[in-house]
A and B are shown apart, each in its own frame.
Chain A
Amino acid sequence: MSLKAKKPGRGVAIVGAGMSKFGSFADKTSRDLFVEAFQAMAKSVDKGIETKDIEALYVGNFSSDLFENQGHIAPIMADWVGLVPKPATRVEAACASGGLALRTAFIAVASGLFDIVVASGVEKMSNLPTERVTDTLAAASDALYEAVCGFTFPGLYAAIATAYMAKYGATPEDFMRVGIKNHKNGALNPKAQFNKSIRDLMNSRIEKAKQKGEPTPTWHDELEFLKDPAANPVVAWPMRLFDCSPITDGAACLLLVAEDLAKDFSNTPLYIIGSGHATDHALPEREDMTTISAARVAAKQAYDMAGVTPKDIQIAEVHDCFTIAELVAIEDLGFFKPGGAYMATREGVTARDGAKPINTSGGLKSKGHPVGASGIGQVVESWAQMRGEAGPRQVPGKDIRLALAHNVGATGGTCVVHIFERR
């Protein structure tokens, strides 16, 4: 038996996209964040959406159970925006929960069962102290054989980084360059948790030292700042603080409709022309730890469905939960050859004004990583860039008609890839 490449039963379009501000909000719960994202999404629909017309809700969420002591959140999210008694489904795939919620919503509309649905994601992480957040995130790895010997989430990606350095000759500075680039983009994103460039952060530290009459630090550039353990302490070597995405609260929502309804809602809809989803073994059981095979498999499914190649993709939001993860991602997606991503990053190819802009939103690194919402938040950026609504961070000199989003769960146990087209 041989199975043919899969096509959706019918076309699906995105006609609305919105997100809450990402950050650390002591006074907001997941439902407050969700309401904020839902309202932003509704506002973005050119011709308007009435809540009563939405037929189903899909909510990506990793672990409200552990983060907020709240399970069963899908009906609560539905209730808080007035969707009850419509069906609401929670989708969990660690940090790829949002991407998988989008894929689940896409399948629901493509199947013909629903015409109008919301794909969303939400996570409220900042209630817990750092060590409990570390425990909770480590629960997305293999608890029996990875986390048990003290591996944390940053630790697993740090291990990938050492394998990558040994195989390809990259250095810790190459990881830092990813963070510098993404913070530069995030500085232009008002919804980002850290909308400051590394240069700004460095200068404000120097200014603060001067004001306090302390010895003035002598960093000459961002790399010197990032190599200073006092400014950028190690979390799990070689991953330092500024190699790691932050602990974030946030939510994001997309409105999906059947393709033939798209123009009833939007002047400029995005069509989901490719979708892929795959799994991989726990990290030690992989033949090569410098690549995530789930990403390669999911990307191939998405490219084949869309009938496009990596070269055709104009911009991409990729899963940079750690700086090393972006390098692995852009190789897995076929944008660069294995081991080629760090040189491309050094040369500025992945910068906002480069040939292949990656993470124009600031990425998870600077925009923030509310794990269940991140996969949806990525598409909010694709929406803004493809409709020319990204303001000061709009990619210069490109009419963006083809974009990709790549969302990874844990160290790659899950990967979800989507390709969007503006016609």
Chain B
Amino acid sequence: MTEERKFDSASFYQFLAEKKLMGSKCKKCHALYLPPHPICIKCHGSDMEWVELKGDGKLAAFTAISVGPTCTIAEGHDRNNPYLAGIVKMDEGPKICGRIHGIDPKNPDRIKVGTTVKVEFPEQVQGTRRYVAFKAT
């Protein structure tokens, strides 16, 4: 019953739990938003519909984080165990932040902007928040 869900972050993360990467599309000007927006920030219309993205994209920017916040320290990350976060440009156009898997975070100088990635839906670890993740293909 996708059409009845509100265009908000709760719906976005609920969809993610259902292994779907969902954005919103303005029915008037066809602008596509990921994460979903309730109001079109281009034409200011508010008649939106849900769109499922295929999940393919390219790394537009990234970083290997050695000094993390408390949430990633709790996951076991530190100076000796960095993790990758990136901004992915989806094939459909919009960009979104995500954790990047499948590339060695210890050799970030070998990672190229433009690397192709695909969305993945890791199991949510208890006591942590769900987030978007991608895997290098």
Decide if B108 touches A145 in the complex (CB within 8 Å): no
- Contact flags (1/0) for B58-85 with A, using CB distance below 8 Å? 0011111111111111000101001101
- Distance in angstroms between the alpha carbons of A307 and B122 in the assembled complex: 55
Taking A145-B35, A159-B62, A289-B60 as contacts, is the C-beta distance between A151 and B67 under 8 angstroms? no
Decide if B66 touches A166 in the complex (CB within 8 Å): no
A: interface residue count bin: 35 or more
Taking A131-B73, A150-B69, A166-B113 as contacts, is the C-beta distance between A238 and B108 under 8 angstroms? yes
Q: Please give the distance in Å from A284's CB to the nearest CB on chain B.
A: 4
Number of B residues with CB within 8 Å of any CB on chain A: 38
Q: Does A410 contact B (CB under 8 A)?
A: no
Q: Does A285 contact B (CB under 8 A)?
A: yes
Decide if B87 touches A237 in the complex (CB within 8 Å): no
- In terms of DSSP, what is the predominant structure of the interface of chain B? mixed
Residues of chain A with a CB closer than 8 A to B82's CB: 234, 237
Residues of chain B with a CB closer than 8 A to A131's CB: 67-70, 73
Decide if B96 touches A148 in the complex (CB within 8 Å): no
Residues of chain B with a CB closer than 8 A to A160's CB: 61
Taking A284-B87, A285-B95, A289-B87 as contacts, is the C-beta distance between A152 and B62 under 8 angstroms? no
Residues of chain A with a CB closer than 8 A to B94's CB: 284-285
Q: Does A390 contact B (CB under 8 A)?
A: no
Decide if A134 touches B85 in the complex (CB within 8 Å): no
Decide if B61 touches A162 in the complex (CB within 8 Å): yes
- Distance in angstroms between the alpha carbons of A374 and B93 in the assembled complex: 36
Taking A238-B108, A289-B61 as contacts, is the C-beta distance between A150 and B70 under 8 angstroms? no
Query: Can you list 11 A-B contacts with CB-CB less than 8 angstroms, sorted by A residue number?
Result: A132-B70, A135-B70, A145-B35, A149-B132, A150-B68, A150-B77, A152-B69, A162-B61, A234-B82, A236-B66, A237-B64
Extra contacts, 16 of them, besides A154-B65, A235-B66 (Cβ < 8 A), are A131-B70, A135-B69, A148-B129, A149-B131, A150-B65, A150-B83, A150-B131, A155-B65, A158-B65, A159-B85, A162-B113, A166-B113, A234-B82, A236-B67, A238-B108, A284-B95
Question: Which 3 pairs, one residue from A and one from B, show the smallest C-beta to C-beta distance?
Answer: A158-B63, A166-B113, A159-B61
Which A residues are within 8 Å of any B CB, using their own CB? 130-132, 134-135, 138, 144-152, 154-156, 158-163, 165-166, 233-239, 283-285, 289
